[in-house]
Structure 1
Amino acid sequence: MPHEMLSSDLMVIDPPFRGRLAAHGLDTVARVLACGGDHLAAWSRTSDVIRVDFTDGPGAVFIKRYHYPRWRHRWRAFFRGVFFGASRARNEFHTLQRMRALGIHAVRPVAWGERRFTHFVQSCFLITEAVPEAMSLAAFAQSYGRPEQGRRASPRVRHEFLRSLAEEIRRMHEAGFVHQDLFWRNVLVRPLSQERFEFYFLDASLGRRIRRARARREKIVYDLAALSVLAPDFCSRADQLRFMRTYLNASTLSETDRAWLLDVQRHWGLYRETELKRLRQGQVFDSIRPAAPPIGAA
């Protein structure tokens, strides 16, 4: 049987973006998989992220593509339920939609697509709208957490940044949603006027809504542990404690709160080395990222 008869493409585009994606050659699976993009934002052995700038006006999109060239990768996805269910890209598209419906600040999903061979996923992709003038929290920490380079954010800016972030994450968790991959590289920050900040969540393929409070609280431990990995590189221990008090909406911490935060710290230690290694691998792309905008300096 010819290879083409065993292969199938499927792509779904949010209606308001159909015309614009078509005008930029991003309206079929084949075109998206072949697109070179304007900037390479990230790369690994099985995935890449490119940015495509619109030429008919302001705006851009990011395309995250997952590739499964080897059969061992396809069988791994099979045992995760992808063979009969949604691909990773399709799942993340719908998760971002659910987050936005709950009032959670998440990047806007624009389209998803997948290419299958005898129902095994060969490639899939997610297209999201770029947030203007935004950067990841990891890039923000690297830009404004280095006093030796004279770019450390002032205490006032750090306090406002951490307060706004704590409140945003509390709202997400109060809506019953847990991200489950809440590292600083998966949160965008957009500096606003008067030293204020706006945050957006991305890479939420593992995220889900958990209605039972006890089960959700257990998962929240992992969210806060992931979020704490880079905190020492940006803020003091007093700043971190202030963040936790804001998140818990408490002026002082109870014994129960302290025991819970110790659990967060234990998980934080398990994540840190792996996450730092991943960030070092991503630094090769720093030179093509936009320069960090000026904010209040110490």
Structure 2
Amino acid sequence: MGNDRKYRMLFLNDEFRSMLRSGDPFDQLSAIEGRIFREVKGRKTLQFNLNGHSFFVKLHHGVGWREVFKNLFQLKMPILGAENEWQAIAKLKALGVDTMKSVAYGSRGWNPAKRQSFIVTEDLIETISLEDYCKSWKQSKPKFREKKQLIEKVAEISQLLHNGGVCHRDFYLCHFLLHQDKPNSDLDNTPKLSLIDLHRALIKRNLGQRWIVKDVAGLYFSAMDIGLTKADQLRFIRCYSKLDLRSALKDDGMFWTTVKNRAELMYKKLGSSN
């Protein structure tokens, strides 16, 4: 493709290489028509259809020097575009965590403030967010086995993520998608959950505890109004810690107290996440 030299990185699967062969990939994707899901300064998320299949594209138009310097002054690495999500998807797959499937990615421009990039992922059809799926639990209790399986699966994903050096940074129930290939009221096997929205994910060799607290507290905050019992919370702790409950509370008691306090402070400041 003649435009390859403009790009710091360019990946297109066969379908998108064929679709975008006549021009610049970023420009063509910017002009595509579809349903806008989110649009903020410098970034747009759009759902569109191609050859009978649904996809999402995130277009990054450059964050500007003001955003770059603001993050640097706060001792944070600025997120310059789609590269962060591209890398996070690959990392989650390596860890064995179900997530989105990327089919196209490109980044052009060497000026970090003006860098343009895109990522295209397959639409995870026949899914529902855990936020939507669980919001009726407080009024209509789910089957014990179903709730137990979902708690254990979320704990497993959380543990894999953090042990693997990844902090999601927006770790809420709304970003867990439950695959509905079969009736969810009669889950016979371990449910399949995909973790999405990895735009801000942080990947480090050794993840500091403050990042883990941030994630787990955010998750707890988002689950505060779905009717979880004390036993449900303890089940999560046991599964996440991979220890018996007595050892988990003894060895990591301060950690779980910090998580609880932070989540309750979030709830006090922000109210219900549902």
**TM-score, length basis structure 2:** 0.75
**AA aligned opposite 2:154:** L
1:177 paired to 2:166: yes
Using the TM superposition, give the Cα deviation of residue 248 of structure 1 relative to its aligned residue in structure 2, in angstroms. 1.7
CA RMSD, 1 decimal: 3.5
1:257 paired to 2:246: no
Which of 127, 130, 137 is residue 134 of structure 1 equivalent to? 127
Other structure's SS at 1:197 match: coil
1:267 paired to 2:262: yes
1:199 paired to 2:193: yes
2:11 & 2:128 partners in 1: Cα distance? 25
Using the TM superposition, give the Cα deviation of residue 208 of structure 1 relative to its aligned residue in structure 2, in angstroms. 0.7
1:242 & 1:22 partners in 2: Cα distance? 49
**AA aligned opposite 1:47:** R
Aligned to 1:15: 13
**AA aligned opposite 1:199:** L
Between Structure 1 and Structure 2, which shows a larger proportion of helix residues?
A: 1
1:71 & 1:244 partners in 2: Cα distance? 42
Other structure's SS at 1:124 match: strand
* Identity level (%): 21
**AA aligned opposite 1:40:** I
Using the TM superposition, give the Cα deviation of residue 188 of structure 1 relative to its aligned residue in structure 2, in angstroms. 2.2
Is the contact made by 1:11 and 1:111 (CA closer than 8 Å) also made in structure 2? no
Using the TM superposition, give the Cα deviation of residue 70 of structure 1 relative to its aligned residue in structure 2, in angstroms. 6.6
Aligned to 2:3: none
Aligned to 1:287: none
1:61 paired to 2:55: yes
Is the contact made by 1:9 and 1:29 (CA closer than 8 Å) also made in structure 2? no
Change (3 A) 1:17 1:69: same
Is the contact made by 1:141 and 1:233 (CA closer than 8 Å) also made in structure 2? no
Using the TM superposition, give the Cα deviation of residue 90 of structure 1 relative to its aligned residue in structure 2, in angstroms. 1.4
Aligned to 1:237: 229
1:174 & 1:165 partners in 2: Cα distance? 14
1:138 & 1:217 partners in 2: Cα distance? 26
**AA aligned opposite 2:255:** W
1:259 & 1:201 partners in 2: Cα distance? 27
2:49 & 2:101 partners in 1: Cα distance? 16
Other structure's SS at 1:92 match: helix
Which of 135, 141, 152 is residue 163 of structure 1 equivalent to? 152
2:116 & 2:172 partners in 1: Cα distance? 25
**AA aligned opposite 1:126:** I
Other structure's SS at 1:62 match: strand
Using the TM superposition, give the Cα deviation of residue 68 of structure 1 relative to its aligned residue in structure 2, in angstroms. 4.7
Change (3 A) 1:139 1:235: same
Aligned to 2:216: 224
**Cα deviation per residue 1:64-116 (whole Å; 9 max; x = unaligned)?**
2334587644665787666xxx8321122122112212322221222223465
Aligned to 1:36: 33
1:99 & 1:173 partners in 2: Cα distance? 11
1:276 & 1:9 partners in 2: Cα distance? 44
Using the TM superposition, give the Cα deviation of residue 27 of structure 1 relative to its aligned residue in structure 2, in angstroms. 6.6
Using the TM superposition, give the Cα deviation of residue 155 of structure 1 relative to its aligned residue in structure 2, in angstroms. 3.5
Is the contact made by 1:26 and 1:32 (CA closer than 8 Å) also made in structure 2? no
2:86 & 2:19 partners in 1: Cα distance? 16
Paired positions, count: 258
Aligned to 2:117: 124
2:244 & 2:77 partners in 1: Cα distance? 45
1:52 paired to 2:48: yes
Using the TM superposition, give the Cα deviation of residue 225 of structure 1 relative to its aligned residue in structure 2, in angstroms. 0.8
1:206 & 1:26 partners in 2: Cα distance? 31
**AA aligned opposite 1:60:** S
**AA aligned opposite 2:81:** R
Using the TM superposition, give the Cα deviation of residue 231 of structure 1 relative to its aligned residue in structure 2, in angstroms. 0.8
**TM-score, length basis structure 1:** 0.70
Change (3 A) 1:49 1:138: farther
1:180 & 1:45 partners in 2: Cα distance? 20
2:23 & 2:55 partners in 1: Cα distance? 10
**AA aligned opposite 1:189:** L
Change (3 A) 1:62 1:20: farther
Aligned to 1:3: none
Using the TM superposition, give the Cα deviation of residue 274 of structure 1 relative to its aligned residue in structure 2, in angstroms. 7.0
Other structure's SS at 2:245 match: coil
